[in-house]
Amino acid sequence: MLLQKSVFPLATLSLVLQSTFVVAQRSPVEVIVVSGSHQSTDIMALNSNVNLIDEQEIERVNAALASDILNRASGVYVQANNGVENLPSLRSPILTGPGAGGAFLFMQDGVATRAAGFANNNGLAELNLAQADGIEVIQGPNSAVYGSNAVHGVINVLSLTPTSGGEAGITFGPNDRVQFTGALGHIDDHGPATQGIGLNLQVIDDGGYQDDSGFTSSKLGLRHDYQRDKLTIQSSLSGFDLDQDTAGFIASGDNGEGCFSSNFAPDELYKDRSAMEKNCDPDAYRQWSAIRGATHIAYQINNDELINVTPYFRSNSMEFRQHYLPSRAIEENSHFSLGVNSDYQWQVNQAVALVVGIDIDWTQGELTETQQQADRFSFGKARQQGVHFDYEVDSSTLAPFIQVNWQYNEALVFTTNVRFDSTEYNYDNLIADGTTKSDGASCVNNDGQAVSCLYQRPADRTDRFNNTSAKIGANYHVSDNISLFANWSNGFRAPQTTDLYRLQNQQSIGTIDSEEVNSIEAGIRGAYQTLTFQGVIYRMQKDNFFFRDDDGLNVTDGETNHSGIELTASLSVLNNLRFLANYAYAKHEYDFDRLSSGVVNGNEIDTAPRQQGNARLEWQPTSATNLALEWQHIGSYFLDPANEHEYAGHDLFNIRAHWQINEQIRLNAKLENVFDEEYASRADYAFGSYRYFGGQPRAVYLGANYAF
């Protein structure tokens, strides 16, 4: 069945690639990317897989959620949960639980949005994906450039460049959604210096698809650009605030127990829309705020030498109920960072370019976890009322690096990156050590006997993780229009502070190592006036994989294999008709046995579709109108490590329309889920139940923009 489903997208892409030989030999379109290397690079000269979502596409999509825009990139699948919550995958399964934080690196203008040891599974929600110059997606490990957390991939959002004038837009959608966007800017290019300042704002108020849910999200961006002679300065300030009434998943085990009633089979419960609209967790919530600032300073010493220095700060705080766990505890966490990224770039001669630099980060963080419900003992686990964890962590990272580019001849260039990261955590436990209650008292079982509590708190300690990462790549220009590329790279994820200090009683303190992944990939990239395409094949192997198993227990030493292909193409058929497609086929498998966790060597990792793709047909019938038909395919996937439960996958179709009435007014409309498909935006199986977030039915969005 999987092979049958793959025929259409593969055949379509084959036709697109074959058209290379009939396209007129025109000059290639130059596309510059800033991610994946310490230097801005023509994408045709890059030695790894980078997808660029440009400003025009971002503007047309007007994303409210990360999945709206990122699922258009090859090999990217972001599952929408409830509200702004999401779980991403880049050349990986959908990763959940404690090990998911830090599997991917999210950045704005090349600066990580969160400190390396303080990642969050929902970190994409902080970024303003609807107002950006571009979004660059790097597939695969890139720690040799960016350090910790760049394990499976990197998403870098480029902040909106200031322009003179302004724009305001409003969009109305289902569930009483109102989305407002606004931008205002001014450019001063008189005198010896050029300056620009821009302000952008996005506010979303959503009533929620499930009962008693909804969110209000605000994102504010301020950017100032300055350029004079050899000096360029770009400063940005970004703010994010979220107030969310969260609805949890609908679990088949709750059927008829007061939350909902359904006659659907457990494995098809997601098709019962009445059930999917229920909220079994009406007390769940998430409150989240963040502010980030950075100043990029570049000084051109001479034609061959450049210095870059980027001081930054970040502050992040969050409070939410862990409604997905039996304790339903409230977690409060925050961290504050100061840091600087710096490098020196030297064009040694016509053949060799050198980049050396150092990144420094200091972060202070804290976490408290408190259970409100009474003590409970079930399935051999004692969860106590009161404080589970209360600790502070000071973190510091020092990371020198070097990059060498060698232009062997006119067609072939080699690039080597090496980086050393030293990360130290100073941990201070503020309540009783060990597996007792917060005051040192024992937990008890249902017979009143003293037992260890589930939660384990290490005594005060210092941990250091030293990691060396490398990347060696080559790019060969077959012609002006086609290049071949290949690379070997490794990546790492230093343990997150929650991995180290929020333990369970069966874990040993101080035994968690950095996750490490080794990757090899090769590809072809083409750029013509009317056709662009990219094809990549890869294989990765990961050690020290950290995840939570079906029984809610942490596994700290897993091993996994990942392999697949990623294909992307864009073809302008006529002057006003364009076809775009991407397709990914991947196998993500366990490479170890642990029967107690349901893991069997060779089993597929849960929530890892083998196939996924996106195709769009864009038609511009007049200079003022644009229409687009979009198809998104998600293949079937297993829901548990034992591969005993499965989700069938789904296909969704959307239609978008834009109409430029005059220079000031633009109207837009979207019909989502055209055929009213019954699907799950997320599906999994745990604690003996199927669990779903139901996909929304057919919906209409209407909006307007006014430029001034």
Per residue, the 3-state secondary structure of 3-56, as one string, reads: HHHHHHHHHHHHHHHHHHHCCCCCCCCCCEECCCCCCCEEHHHCCCCEEEEEHH
pLDDT (0 to 100) of residue 407: 96
pLDDT (0 to 100) of residue 70: 96
157: left (phi over 0), alpha (psi -120 to 50) or beta: beta
The structure tokens listed for 542 are: 């990961």
Contact in structure between 358 and 374 (CB atoms under 8 Å): no
Torsion over CA: 642, 280, 328, 545 (sign): positive
Q: Residue holding tokens 């064009």?
A: 347
How many CB atoms are located within 10 Å of the residue 40 CB? 9
Q: Which residues pair with 486 in a beta bridge?
A: 474, 522
Q: In sequence order, what are the residues at sequence separation of 6 or more whose Cβ sits closer than 8 angstroms to the Cβ of residue 207?
A: 175, 176, 177, 214
Positions of the chain with pLDDT under 70:
1-29, 549-553
Give the amino acid at 253.
G
Quick one: 646 exposed, middle or buried, by C-beta within 10 A (0-12, 13-18, 19+)? middle
pLDDT (0 to 100) of residue 97: 77
Three-class SS state of 112: strand
Domain 43-707, CATH class in plain words? mainly beta
Three-class SS state of 175: coil
The structure tokens listed for 599 are: 């893991």
The closest alpha carbon to 102, from 449, 576, 516, belongs to 516
Three-class SS state of 101: coil
pLDDT (0 to 100) of residue 550: 64
The structure tokens listed for 347 are: 């064009």
The closest alpha carbon to 320, from 550, 83, 101, belongs to 83
Give the amino acid at 356.
V
pLDDT (0 to 100) of residue 551: 63
Q: Residue holding tokens 């490490």?
A: 516
Q: Where are the domains of the chain?
A: 43-707
- Within 13 Å and on the Cβ side, how many CA atoms surround 509? 16
pLDDT (0 to 100) of residue 608: 96
pLDDT (0 to 100) of residue 548: 72
pLDDT (0 to 100) of residue 379: 83
The structure tokens listed for 375 are: 């003590």
